[in-house]
Structure 1
Amino acid sequence: MTTGPVPRPRPGEVLVRVRAVSVNGGELAMRTGRLRPFSGRRFPKRVGIDLVGEVVVGTGRFAAGELVWGGTGRRMGSAAEYVAVRAEHLDHVPAGLDPVRAAALPAGTTAITALRDKATLAPGERLLVRGATGGVGYVAVQLGKAMGAHVTGLASAANLDLVTELGADEAIDYRAPGDLGRFDVILDTVGTDLPAFRRLLAPRGRMVAIAFDLERPVRSLGYLAAHAMHRTRWIRFFSGNPTAPLFAELGRWVAAGVIRPQVDRVFPLADIAAAHRALEQGGVRGKIVVELP
C-alpha cells in the first residue's frame, strides 16, 4: 500500500471518504496483467471500481456527510481512503443500508443493463444465469424473478442452496448440468465455452456476456463479434460504466425489497491482497467487500 495527498476535487467532482469497496473480477485481470492490450503496460495498477462512502466536499445535489455509492467510470482506484468522483457517477445510498452491505450491490447495475436494456427480458421467458452466486449473478437471479422470468442458476454444488434462496426456479451444478433445455435469455458472467452455451438459445434467444475467455482472448472476442450482428440467437458483449440514473434505479429495486445484498466476506483495507486471493479462489457467495475505517 502507498500513501499520498488527499485528492482535490475538480469542477463537477465530489470528494468522498471511502467506507467500503467490493472486489471485482475485472480488476483481478487488470492487476495481473492479463488485460495489457486494454490497460497498457505500466504497473503496478490501482484497484477498486465501485465505492460506498461519505461526501466530504459536495457539489450540486450532494452535501457533506451524505452516504453515496457509485463508481470511478472507466478508471480504477476506488480502493483508497479518499477519492474524487464525477458527480454523474454517484447516487445516494438507500436508507437503511450500511456501507458494507451497500458495497455488495453496485455491480447489480450490470445485471440491470444486461437483462433490461440488452436482452429485454420479458415475463414468462426462460433465463439462464451462469455464475449465479457471483457479484453480478446473484443480483441477476433476483432481478430476473422480479421481471417475471423462469430463472435457472448455474453455480458450484456448494452454492446451490444460495441460488435457491435468491429465488431461482432451478439451481444446477455447473460441473454436471445434464440437459438444460433451451433458454430465451442467457446471462454469461464466465466467458468460457461460449459456443456450447449459445447452442442452448431458443430460436429467438439472446445471450449477454460480461466476460470473455482470458486464456484465448482473441478467439473469444472474435467469436463475440462474429455473433453480435445475428438477428436471431445473437450474443452481445458489454463492459458496464454506470451513471447516476442506473444507481438510482438499483436503489429503487433495493428499497422495494426486490434485491437484497449478499456479502461473502469482509476484509480490512490492509488485507486487500487477501480479498483478491479469496475471489481468485472462486466459489464466492455474493460479494467480497473491503471495509475502511
Structure 2
Amino acid sequence: MKAAVQTAYGAPEVVTIIDIPKPVPKPGEVLVRIVATTVTSGDARLRAFRIPAAFWLPARLFLGISKPRKSVLGSEFSGIVEAVGAGVTRLKTGDRVFGMHVFDAHAQYKVVPQTAAVTALPQGMDFAEAAALPFGALTALHFLRLAKIAPGQKVLINGASGAVGSFAVQLAKHFGAEVTGICSARNLDMVRALGADHVIDYRQTDFSRNGIQYDVIMDTVDTVSVAQFERATPPTGQLIASNAGGGMMLRAGLRKLLGGRQIIVGVAGELLADIETLRDLAAAGVLQATIDSRVPFTEIVKAHALVDSGRKRGAVVVEVSAP
C-alpha cells in the first residue's frame, strides 16, 4: 500500500510517499481503508520535532533519536472497514467510520483496536468532514469540560478560526456560554457563523484592555501572556492553554499549588465515549467541520506546508481514496 513516510525530522519535504506492507488485523483489531485524513498542527510539530525544551530529551527518546521511530504520521481519519480480526463484534466489514487513533493514518490502510475511538460516520457528514472532526473537537471538548463551562459564563477563544478553536466556539456556545472569538480580520465572519457572540481582530484590539472580564480564556495558539490573562479575568478566572509550551506548563503547576487564577494544561485523550458524543452532536447539527482545503494524497507535502504557514482556517484534509 502507499503511505506518507517521514524519513527524518524537518521541513515538509522530509515526507515522501512510498510502498509499505499493508497491515493485517490481529484478533480484536479492525482494518480501515482510509478515505480521508488530515494534517494537524500536532502532526506538523512531530514532523519538525517542535517540542518544549523541558520535554525535548524524553520526547526524543520516545519518538526516536536520529530519525522518527514511528514514520507514518496522522491520527484522525475516516474510511470504510475492510476487514476485522477474530473476536471483533462492535464493527463489521463495510461500516463507514471515522475516529482518532495515534499515528499511521497518512496511508491507504490503518489497523485500530476495536476499543479505539472509532465509530460510525455522523449522519449528514461526508468523509472529509468527518475526518476533520476528531482532533479539534476532542481537544476542545476535553478542555472545556475541565474548565466546567457553565451557562452564562463569558468565554474567550483565542485562535477561534483554527482546527481546535472553531470547535471550541461551537461547544462553548452549546454549553450556554457567551462566546468571544479572536482571529484575523479575514476570519471574523466565519467565526461569527460558527456561533460566536462577539469577535475580535487580534491585529486591531488587545482583548485584555477592553475592560471586559472573561470567566474562561481558551488559548489554542499559545499567544496569550500571563499578564493578559490576569488583566482580563476575575480572581476565579481560568486560562485553558491547550497548546502550552514548557513555561506555561510550569506556571500551571505552580498555580495549582499556590491557588488563585488557574491555568489548565495537558493532553486530550482518545476515548470512544467522547467520539460517540461528538458524532451525536454533529448529527444533531450542533457541530460542523470547518475545512480550509482538500488536498490529494499525492500532494500531502503541500498540506504540511499549509499547516506550517499558520494561516489555515479549520482543518487541512487529505483525500486518500474514493469512498
**Do they fold alike, i.e. is TM over 0.5?**
yes
- Structure 1 residue aligned with 2:95: 66
Hey, what's the Cα distance between the residues in 2 that align with 1:153 and 1:30?
Answer: 27
Identity %: 36
SS in 1 for 2:301: helix
Alignment check: 8 A CA contact 1:153 1:163 kept:
yes
State the 1:229 CA deviation. 4.1
- 1:75-128 CA-to-partner distances (Å, cap 9, x unmatched) read x22111000112222111112211111111112011111112x10100000001
- Structure 2 residue aligned with 1:159: 187
- 1:37-91 CA-to-partner distances (Å, cap 9, x unmatched) read 3233242442111111111123221011111111124xx2211100011222211
Hey, what's the Cα distance between the residues in 2 that align with 1:265 and 1:172?
Answer: 24
- 1:169-188 CA-to-partner distances (Å, cap 9, x unmatched) read 11101223232421111111
- Structure 2 residue aligned with 1:172: 200
State the 1:230 CA deviation. 4.9
Hey, what's the Cα distance between the residues in 2 that align with 1:88 and 1:185?
Answer: 33
Question: Which segments of 5 or more consecutive residues in structure 2 lack a partner in the other structure?
Answer: 1-16
Q: TM-score, with normalisation over the residues of structure 1?
A: 0.92
- AA partner of residue 24 (structure 1): T
1:9 pairs with 25, 40, 44, which one? 25
SS in 1 for 2:161: coil
SS in 2 for 1:183: coil
**Greater radius of gyration (CA):** 2
Alignment check: 8 A CA contact 1:228 1:236 kept:
no
Question: RMSD of aligned C-alpha atoms?
Answer: 1.6
SS in 1 for 2:190: helix
2:65 pairs with 36, 41, 46, which one? 41
- AA partner of residue 90 (structure 2): R
- Structure 2 residue aligned with 1:112: 141
Question: Which segments of 5 or more consecutive residues in structure 1 lack a partner in the other structure?
Answer: none
- Structure 2 residue aligned with 1:30: 46
Hey, what's the Cα distance between the residues in 2 that align with 1:57 and 1:78?
Answer: 16
SS in 2 for 1:46: coil
State the 1:134 CA deviation. 0.4
2:221 pairs with 190, 193, 203, which one? 190
1:236 pairs with 246, 257, 264, which one? 264
Alignment check: 8 A CA contact 2:72 2:107 kept:
no
Runs of 4+ aligned structure 1 residues displaced above 6 Å come to: none
**Does the C-alpha gap of structure 1 residues 230 and 13 become closer, same or farther in structure 2, counting only changes over 3 Å?**
farther
Alignment check: 8 A CA contact 1:268 1:291 kept:
yes
Matched, 1:212 2:240: no
Q: TM-score, with normalisation over the residues of structure 2?
A: 0.84
